Chains A and B, each alone.
Chain A
Amino acid sequence: DTAVSQTPKYLVTQMGNDKSIKCEQNLGHDTMYWYKQDSKKFLKIMFSYNNKELIINETVPNRFSPKSPDKAHLNLHINSLELGDSAVYFCASRTGGEQYFGPGTRLTVT
């Protein structure tokens, strides 16, 4: 059984479009995260939700809007995509110390 899943795995789209990435975890964790990994492998946290409540909101353009319909799901919607948004986006969840990452969504903006 997949612990943290993301869809889609790959996303290729044009500048200016709006897209969404979905994340689900079946671990029963209360806290979920979105990370962005750039081409140099740097992992940077974007958002975190704890039991559907936004608790971490890093310096991210407001074109990015997370939504958590329930504590098992955390989605990421991106408006007006830009070339610089191209990256791998990871969802993660946590209950104790370690974080469990999803397989990632590779977003390519052309």
Chain B
Amino acid sequence: GQQVMQIPQYQHVQEGEDFTTYCNSSTTLSNIQWYKQRPGGHPVFLIQLVKSGEVKKQKRLTFQFGEAKKNSSLHITATQTTDVGTYFCAGPNAGGTSYGKLTFGQGTILTVHP
């Protein structure tokens, strides 16, 4: 079945350092979504990328979708303590049904040391 792999599993950074998490799918994706889950919280949607090679920015966050639409990355510039949490990528299942079944990556747990 479809697999979505995410690396690294853990990342510890000093406040002010940059952070990147990478997502790879075993199949071509029609789109990819990113979610953030704060400690003790629930996943919150950040963004959806649809086009091959697409790059989107949200303040200090930069999201990329690979040309082959099989990989994606999230880069945070100058991390802050508010960036702490688990970042998930998620892709729709290979069948592409309209019911939105998502396969989530394992997540990257980001810790920011002040």
Contacts and interface: CB of A to CB of B under 8 A. Distances in A.
A51 B13 CA distance: 44
A45 B106 contact: no
A98 B106 contact: no
A41 B99 contact: no
Given A40-B106, A41-B107, A104 B101 contact: no
A42 B88 CA distance: 9
Q: Interface of chain B, helix or strand or loop or mixed?
A: strand
Nearest to A42: B106
B78 to A, nearest CB: 25
Interface in A82-104: 90, 94, 97-104
Report the interface size class on chain B.
Answer: 20 to 34
Nearest to B97: A55
Contacts of A97: 31, 33, 48, 100
Contacts of B107: 41-43
Interface of B: 31, 33, 37, 41-45, 48, 86, 88, 97, 99-104, 106-107, 109
Interface of A: 31, 40-45, 48, 50, 55-56, 90, 94, 97-104
